[in-house]
Amino acid sequence: MKSEFGVVGLGRMGGGLALQARERGMRVVGMDPAGLRPELGAAGVEAARDLAELAAQLAAPRAVFLYVPAGPAVDRLIDDLAPHLAAGDVIVDGGNSYWGDSIRRQRRIAPSGVELVDLGTSGGIDGARRGACFMAGGEPAAVARVEPILRALAVEGGYVHAGPPGAGHFTKLVHNGIEFGMLQAIGEGVDLLERYRDPLDIAAVLSCWRHGSVIRGWLIDLMQQQYARAGGLDEVPSFVEDTGEVNWLVADALRMEVAIPVIAQSVMQLFASRDDKDNSARAVAMMRNGFGGHPYGPAPAIVEERRRGQVGGTFRDDE
């Protein structure tokens, strides 16, 4: 199965993974409502007009990756795709679905013999293109069938079979919560630097922190690069948009009675980011733009995605 797979949703993440796979010699059949972007076709990604054609172009046992927004759209897509698949085929949900929804979906399609793997995908656009970090959840046999693909598309050490169905999306959700807390801490630090009594060479300070400090890492790298490129924070809106997944984690933590004050407060700060003097929000916006291409300022399409995705956030084990 390492040699080929299908992808539904060829945006920034799905398209990036498809391009990386082609460079590694894999055959990729793709489908997107907007059609294939020219660079995908030029790279040899094969286009399918619909789900039936996509399934027909793949040899059994098939692997079909989904990179579409979380929420009811995933349920509809699985329902539409599954009839074109057979026992032993694997659907891989690589989006930011709620882990409870992934458990429910896996149970729903299991009687058909089609398997579902929930795949947390991290690393942003650059990771999809050059080597991602994958957290897989699912039954061992299902994960084993797609593991060669995942290992080939991951950075070294950037793959784990985290556990049974739901575990991939749960670990990715926790990852996103940690990310929010780290972004907020860095943003607050930049705000403090901006407000010091004397002018500071903040770009140089950030550059220094990238080398040998205990807080060095990719987010500090992005902060320094974005700050230097923009010449400061003044032209960056403080409005930070998000798709709402970490809200689910806060709700989960309340039900689990686990204290996550930093993560919860980071979500609250997103809500407060409409303050036009909030330098920390500007800094967070810069880093989010750097790793994920997230837009500056309000984005109606993301607001709609967040609202559509609110199917997640609750789960009963008897579902």
**Beta partners for residue 31, in sequence order:** 8
Residues 49 and 91 in one domain: yes
Does 148 lie in the same domain as 16? yes
Q: Find out whether 162 and 136 touch, Cβ atoms under 8 Å.
A: yes
Name the pTM for this structure: 0.85
Are 78 and 115 within one domain? Answer: yes
Statement to judge: residues 96 and 221 lie in one domain: no
Do 192 and 276 belong together in one domain?
yes
Residue 269 pLDDT = 86
What sign has the CA pseudo-torsion 302, 249, 133, 97? Answer: negative
Tell me the residue length of the chain: 319
Domain boundary among 164, 195, 216: 164
Q: Burial, 178: exposed, middle or buried (Cβ in 10 Å; 0-12, 13-18, 19+)?
A: middle
The verdict on whether omega for the bond into residue 61 sits within 30 degrees of 0, i.e. cis, is yes
Kindly state whether residues 240 and 287 are assigned to the same domain. Answer: yes
What is the phi-psi region of residue 157: left when phi exceeds 0, alpha when psi lies from -120 to 50, beta otherwise?
Answer: left
What are the DSSP E strand ranges found in the chain? 4-8, 27-31, 46-47, 63-66, 90-93, 115-122, 132-137, 154-163
In a domain? residue 317: no
The CATH number covering residue 264 comes to 1.10.1040.10
> How far apart (Å, rounded) are the C-alpha atoms in residues 273 and 284?
10
Write down the pLDDT at residue 100: 96
Note whether 179 and 160 are same-domain residues: no
DSSP string, 174-242: HHHHHHHHHHHHHHHHHHHHHTSSS---HHHHHHHHTTT-TT-SHHHHHHHHHHHHHTSSTTS-S----
Catalytic residue among 46, 115, 172, 305: 172
Annotated active-site residue 179? The verdict is yes
**What pLDDT score does 28 carry?**
98
- Identify the residue whose tokens are 């733009």: 289
177, 263: one domain? yes
Residue 2 annotated in active site: no
Counting Cα atoms < 13 Å in the Cβ hemisphere of 258 gives: 10
**What is the residue-level pLDDT of the chain in tens, covering all 319 positions?**
458 999 999 999 999 999 999 999 999 999 999 889 999 999 999 999 999 999 999 999 999 999 999 999 999 999 999 999 999 999 999 999 999 999 999 999 999 999 999 999 999 999 999 999 999 999 999 999 999 999 999 999 999 999 999 999 999 999 999 999 999 999 999 999 999 999 999 999 999 999 999 999 999 999 999 999 999 998 888 788 888 889 999 999 999 999 999 999 999 888 887 666 667 888 888 888 888 888 888 888 877 877 776 556 666 676 5
Residues 249, 153, single domain; the answer is no
**Shared-domain flag, residues 147 and 177:** no
The domain boundary, picked from 147, 164, 181, lies at 164
- The CATH number for 35's domain is 3.40.50.720
Q: Residue 75 CB: number of other CB atoms within 10 A?
A: 15
Q: How many domains does the chain have?
A: 2
pLDDT digits (tens, 9 = 90+) for 75-87: 999 999 999 999 9
Are 120 and 184 contained in the same domain?
no
Which pLDDT score, from 0 to 100, does residue 121 have? 96
Q: Residue 47: which domain range?
A: 4-164
Residues 103 and 25 grouped into a single domain: yes
- The strand pair at 46-47 and 63-66 is best described as unpaired
Exactly one of 115, 147, 179, 305 is catalytic; name it: 179
Distance of CA 133 to the CA centre of its chain: 10
